[in-house]
Structure 1
Amino acid sequence: MRKSTTLALAFAALAGAVGTTAYAENNASARMREGMMARLDKAMSDSDGAITFDQFSDAMDARLRKLVADNGGKLTVAQLADALEKARFERMARRIIARYDTKGDGTLTSDDITGREKKIFAMLDKNNDGKIEKSELPKGGRFGHHRQSDDEGDMQ
Structure 2
Amino acid sequence: MRKTTKLALAYIALAGAVGGAAYAENLDSANVRERTMMRLDKAMKDNDGKITFDQFSDVMDARLKKLVADNGGKLTVAQLADALEKARFERMARRIIARYDSKGDGTLTSDDIIGREKKLFAMLDKNNDGKIEKGELPNDGRDDRQWDGEGNEGGVQ
Q: Under TM normalisation by the shorter chain, which class is it?
A: 0.5 to 0.7
- Per the alignment, residue 133 of structure 2 pairs with 133
What's the offset of the Cα at 1:35? 3.9
Q: CA RMSD in A?
A: 2.3
Structure 1 pair 121/89, CA: closer, same or farther in 2 (3 Å)? same
Q: CA deviation at 1:45?
A: 4.8
1:88 Cα deviation from its structure 2 partner: 0.6
Structure 2: gaps of 5 or more residues:
1-26, 143-157
Task: Please give the per-residue CA displacement for 1:96-130, whole angstroms capped at 9, x wherever unaligned.
Answer: 00000011111000000000000000011111010
The whole-number CA distance in structure 2 between the counterparts of 1:45 and 1:127 is 59
TM-score with structure 1 setting the length: 0.65
* Counterpart residue identity of residue 57, structure 1: S
What SS is found at the alignment partner of 2:67? helix
- Corresponding position of 1:88: 88
Distance 1:46 1:105 in 2: 36
Aligned sequence identity (%)? 84
Structure ID, larger Rg: 2
The TM-score normalised by the length of structure 2 is 0.65
Matching of residues 50-61 of structure 1 within 5 Å = 50-61=50-61
Secondary structure at the aligned position of 2:62 is classed as helix
Q: Which has the higher contact order (CA 8 A, sep 6+)?
A: 2
